[in-house]
A and B are shown apart, each in its own frame.
Chain A
Amino acid sequence: MQRQQVLFLVKFFGILVAAYLFIAWSPVNDRVIVPFTQVIAEGSGAVLRAIGEQVAVTGTIIRSSRFGVNVNNGCNGVEAMLILLASILAFPASMKARIAGLALGAIAVQLLNAVRIVSLYLLGVYQPRLFEIFHTAVWQIVIILAAIVFFLFWSTRVGSDRLATRG
């Protein structure tokens, strides 16, 4: 293992700890994360209405007479965005490349997250037996995996030393 790879991991975990503590801090959670999650719930509710589901959105809850989902921390894509943030900032690249990577990655994660919320609602209505496994494990891993794959893809494009692809 090369020194720069150890440095990458140290930076990655350092940034991740700092970023997590920041978003877990009550004022940030209440004034930034919760309103952001409400926007995500509104967007997902709009998609569900567009495909014919009679849902109402109250705060972070998407509900109909048949089923309801509450978009909490862990279901708002913020966890994947933190992984993306820490990995992109820890990787040696230009600031311009980092900003572009973060912006594109955040959009990709949130688009995929909207698919997650919509599909979980539909599973809850039409295949409730599958809801728990998809909610607990499948979608969580898919979202994080998507963020990691995006980072690896980005790093091979912008990195001068292709740190992420070397052993």
Chain B
Amino acid sequence: MGPIDWRLAVKGLAGFIVGLALWLMLSPLYDRAIATGAEKVMRVFETPKVTRLVPMPDGSIRVDRSDFDPRSPRPGIRVSDLTFNFALLTALFAVSRRTFSDRNIGGFFAASAILALTHIVATIARVMSIYVAKLGAWSRVTYSDFDRNVWGIADHGYRLVFMYAFAFGLWFLFRDTASVAPAGAKAKTKRRKK
């Protein structure tokens, strides 16, 4: 496959570590913001507006419904399980010949903003996957098998593979023009010179 460009490998590793550190530091605040956004979107489509996503001290989000018996247990979700693809995005943007070019930095912020929107949608899918299948008889009576399939696939698919695919796709769209992986290109050039 050709020689590895170690400078790019180090940049990628550094981008990954910075992204992971940022994600770890900002998760408590970011998760709240995402939960608030998801709650607002869900309530737009709800009649009556009953869903509340309540941040808990342990970092999880409690899925509350005002039409449920207050004594019944509430499920919880971890929004951080849906958002760590941010570290993948930072690593990919770091693997660039011009990491700190205006275009690469601007692209990174644009991609991050869109990624945040996918996090809101993913949180909604997570909550809906609980509503349609995890709340016993209420789920069976309130939602159809079609609903269960749609929200189940949306939630599972996002967590298994699409959270990474979105990060990859956004990087591909917004990266700097002289972007990644020149190692192979370098190898070709060298061979041509010979």
Chain A residues with a Cβ under 8 A of chain B: 1, 5, 8-9, 12-13, 16, 20-21, 24, 73-74, 79, 82-83, 86-87, 104, 133, 136-138, 140-142, 144-145, 148-149, 152-157, 162, 164-167
Contacts and interface: CB of A to CB of B under 8 A. Distances in A.
B84 A16 contact: no
Contacts of B168: 83, 87, 144, 148
B161 A79 contact: yes
Given A16-B162, A20-B162, A155 B181 contact: yes
A149 B157 contact: no
Contacts of A167: 175-179
Interface in B1-33: 1-2, 12, 16, 20, 23-24
Contacts of A145: 12, 16, 88, 91-92
B183 interface: yes
Contacts of B161: 16, 20, 79, 82-83
B184 interface: yes
Contacts of A82: 161
B2 A157 contact: yes
Contact of A149 (B12, B80, B153, B176): B12
Contacts of B24: 133
A140 B160 CA distance: 10
B120 to A, nearest CB: 19
A20 B178 CA distance: 32
Given A24-B157, A148-B92, A149-B181, A9 B87 contact: no
15 contacts: A9-B172, A13-B165, A16-B162, A136-B81, A137-B84, A137-B87, A140-B84, A144-B164, A145-B91, A148-B168, A153-B181, A155-B181, A156-B184, A157-B1, A164-B181
